[in-house]
Structures are given as C-alpha cells and as structure tokens.
Chain A
Amino acid sequence: KAGVTQTPRYLIKTRGQQVTLSCSPISGHRSVSWYQQTPGQGLQFLFEYFSETQRNKGNFPGRFSGRQFSNSRSEMNVSTLELGDSALYLCASSLVQGSNNEQFFGPGTRLTVL
C-alpha cells in the first residue's frame, strides 16, 4: 500500500499571502489529521476530518482551515500568512475503527514565510 503523500514538499511564501497544502491518505483510511510542527512548540494538532466533516479542531486561529473530499483526500489552507506560520505541516491518516487512533504520517510540507 502506498503511504500518505503530501504536496508540495517545500513552499516559500511572503507575509499576507495564502497557501493550500494537499494530502492523500493511505487507501482505506477515512480520517485525516493535520499537525503543525515547530522547534519551539513541537507537534500541535490543527484539525481532523472524517467523511468530509471536521470532527476535531485544535487551538489555532480561523486563518487555518481545511476540508476533505469524498475520496478522503484533504487540503488545508492558511490565509494571511504570518512569519510565525513557518513550520513543517504534517498530515496523518488513520483507519479509525479499532485503530487506537494510530496515525500514519506523510513526509510533511516545509512552509517558509518571508
């Protein structure tokens, strides 16, 4: 089975711009979660989608949004980028039922905001 894929792998933007990141989960996995990873804050949960619905949300401002499509692929969007949004954005998929919420991560998208 192919793993979780994320595109693009690297992205450079300037303050005020917006960005869309994409994630394709493992085939058969219906839950997709997004995390932000920075050296100072570690791995922080952004949100989780299941069956095209946001099921859980972390403590991030409304500039961070996401969606999930009927094929379980997911996108996250960050609007009005700030310098502090520079981070590794990780997507993870999960089988959900009977899986103890075990996450299978993609390689991440490295976002740099200048």
Chain B
Amino acid sequence: TQLLKQSPQFLSIQEGENLTVYCNSSSVFSSLQWYRQEPGEGPVLLVTVVTGGEVKKLKRLTFQFGDARKDSSLHITAAQTGDTGLYLCAGDNQGGKLIFGQGTELSVKP
C-alpha cells in the first residue's frame, strides 16, 4: 500500500514566522501535488511538481520535489493569517488514483 506521511500534523505559529511542511513516502510518484483546504470548502490545487529536484515558487510559498520523487516539502516565508488552513500533499502513482497525505493543519496567529 502506498502511503504519504505528512509532518507535522499540526502547526501553530505567529504571523511573520517561516515554516516547512514535509511529505514523505517510500514509493515513487510520477508527480506530486499540494492543495490547501479551508473550512467548509474543498481542497484547492496550489502546485504540481513533476521532475525530481524541481523547485516551484508561488509568492511566499516554495515547493520542492525530492530527487528520487518520493518526497516533497512546502516552505512558507513570513506566514500571514491568510495562510491558515489544511495543507494536503497528493501523489499520482499513474494508476489513476491520487494518494493523499493526512494533511497539516496550519494556524497562523496575528
């Protein structure tokens, strides 16, 4: 069974701090996606990384795909209260199913 482990599960920080969320697996994925979900809504796609070692930036968010395509990280610089939400990573195993991590619940306090 393919699993994606996210860490930490919960993160509470002050506005302006930096943070990193990790997504790890023993399996290789053809691509990996990051989503953010706010209460009462469905997840919204933030980014897709495809190539091993790839780094993508979305404003203050930096996403990296591991060289072996088994892990990924999301780094947020100078977090804002609007970054609060559930961050989910999801791996595509090319079997048609997305494998989701358990999620990281981020709370950014003013």
Contact = CB atoms under 8 A, between A and B. Distances in A.
B41 A43 contact: no
A14 interface: no
A48 B93 CA distance: 14
A55 B97 CA distance: 10
Given A4-B42, A103-B45, A43 B33 contact: no
A84 interface: no
Interface string A74-105: 00000000000000001010000000111111
Interface in A39-65: 42-45, 48, 55-56, 58
Contacts of B88: 42-43
B64 to A, nearest CB: 17
Given A43-B88, A45-B97, A48-B96, A105 B44 contact: yes
A1 B101 CA distance: 29
Interface residues of A, number: 22
B103 interface: yes
Q: Which of B43, B92, B98, B99 has the most CB of A within 10 A?
A: B98
A64 B7 CA distance: 31
Contact of A55 (B41, B44, B96, B98): B96
Contacts of A105: 35, 42-44
A16 B99 CA distance: 30
Interface in B46-100: 48, 50, 88, 90, 92, 95-100
B40 interface: yes
A69 B99 CA distance: 26
Contacts of B50: 100
B31 interface: yes
Given A56-B96, A101-B33, 18 more contacts: A42-B100, A42-B102, A43-B43, A43-B100, A43-B103, A45-B97, A45-B98, A45-B99, A56-B95, A90-B42, A100-B48, A100-B50, A100-B92, A101-B31, A102-B33, A104-B45, A106-B42, A107-B41
